[in-house]
Amino acid sequence: MDNLVIAATERSPAVDFDFAAGVLSLKGESYPEDASTVFGPIFAALEGFLGVAECRALRFDFELIYFNSSSAKALMNMFQLMDKAAARGVTIEVNWFFAREDETMKEFGEDFSEDLEHVTFNLATTQN
Amino acid sequence: MTIPANTPPEGEPLTLAQHYRAFKGVLDERGILFSFSGYLSEGILYSLGDTLRQKMTLDDTDLTTIKKVFSVFVEQAQNIIRYSAEKVLGTVGKSVELSSGMVTIGTERGRFFIVCANTILEDDVPQLKHRLEVLQKMDKDEIKAYYKEQLREAPDEKSRGATIGLIEIARRASEPIEFDFDRIDAEKHFFCLKVSI
């Protein structure tokens, strides 16, 4: 499966999905005009990979500084997709990075993790 | 010594500088950091938002407050871009959608406030009013639970995410949100929403 690498823009995150290594990451900010345009290809690539990822291990690093509400909804869809795959036996570890003093991003991490039953969700602070 | 604005000699009209100094003075007296009125685009949203974050950072505002103010600003501006009843659509090399409205950010009584305003159609008033009234009556925990509930819902194609955006705004507010409608004519109302952080 082809890797997915998309450079960050002013209002959309950097995407680096290394499917061969099983390491995926989203970094930066996300408040595009239309969240479905940005997250559509990301979701499709993740869904495609998880569909053929039986008995594989996957690590997903999130290092997001800010995202708007429609991006939050798209992220929730991704977590629901990952939890279903984890329930089928794919080992999935999520690392949710946030700046030490950033209560908002910490709370978002907690919110998302509460809904996950099968994914291992780690909250971790970054240096900044 | 500062010479007061708006003081032309007896019987003489305001000069150009006096006129605009008085206009800016009205904004300054209200504690306004900046106010944008006119056609908003995503490019303007980005530039204003970036300047807002830089100014707050230079003023040593704590990161969580910066995040809250920025988030309310983005959701409010994107609501204007999506839902303003005054829009200009067309092609200028590429497809362009400009929406008229107003975004104002300032400080009062030690808090930041963000006000957005735009015209909306009569038919859209009842639903928006209902959504805002529901949020206005909720406490912090109820808003948080409501946000999570809406996050799990499938995207509502028609609203392009209005509900979750309004909940995000209410969630970041330090006081209950304030809103009002003022009738313009038979079909349109002036709508404004004020959020304090």
* Residues paired with B101 in a beta bridge: B38
> What would the mean pLDDT of B33-55 be, rounded to a whole number?
93
Touching check for A11 and chain B: CB below 8 Å? yes
Q: What angle do CA B81, A33, B111 make, to 5 degrees?
A: 65
Check pLDDT > 80 for residue B155: no
Check pLDDT > 60 for residue B156: no
A 10 A CB-CB count for B95 gives 8
> What would the mean pLDDT of B8-21 be, rounded to a whole number?
85
Residues A98 and A109 sit within 8 Å (Cβ to Cβ): yes
Check pLDDT > 80 for residue B150: yes
Strand pairing report for A120-126 and A91-99: parallel
Say how far apart CA A9 and CA A44 lie, in whole Å: 20
b (16+ CB within 10 A) / e for A68-88: bbbbbbbbbbbbeebbebbee
Residue of A69, A77, A114 to mutate, interface with B, max B Cβ within 10 Å: A69
Among B70, B71, B161, beta carbon nearest to A73: B161
- Cβ of B152 within 8 Å of Cβ of A33? The answer is no
- For chain B, list the domains and their CATH numbers: 33-196 (3.30.565.10)
Check pLDDT > 80 for residue A80: yes
Strand pairing report for A120-126 and B32-40: unpaired
> What would the mean pLDDT of B59-86 be, rounded to a whole number?
93
B73 Cβ neighbours under 8 A, 6+ residues apart: B48, B49, B52, B103, B105, B114
ipTM of the complex: 0.91
Task: Sort out which chain B residues have CB atoms less than 8 A from A102's CB and list them.
Answer: 63-64, 67
Check pLDDT > 60 for residue B44: yes
What pLDDT score does B75 carry?
Answer: 95
| A2-51 per-position pLDDT tens digit | 889 999 999 999 999 998 899 999 999 999 988 999 999 999 999 999 88
Lowest-confidence region among A48-52, A95-99, B76-80, B114-118 = A48-52
Please tell us whether the domain made up of A4-126 is placed in CATH 3.30.750.24: yes
Check pLDDT > 90 for residue B184: yes
- Cβ of A101 within 8 Å of Cβ of B68? The answer is no
Domain-by-domain residue ranges, chain A?
A: 4-126
Q: pLDDT band for position B140 (50/70/90)?
A: very high
* Residue in the structure block whose two tokens are 């008229």: B100
Say how far apart CA A78 and CA A125 lie, in whole Å: 22
Q: By C-alpha distance, which of A73, A18, A84, A74 is closest to A51?
A: A84
Task: Sort out which chain A residues have CB atoms less than 8 A from B155's CB and list them.
Answer: 36, 73
Q: Where are the beta strands (DSSP E) in B14-158?
A: 32-40, 87-92, 94-108, 111-121
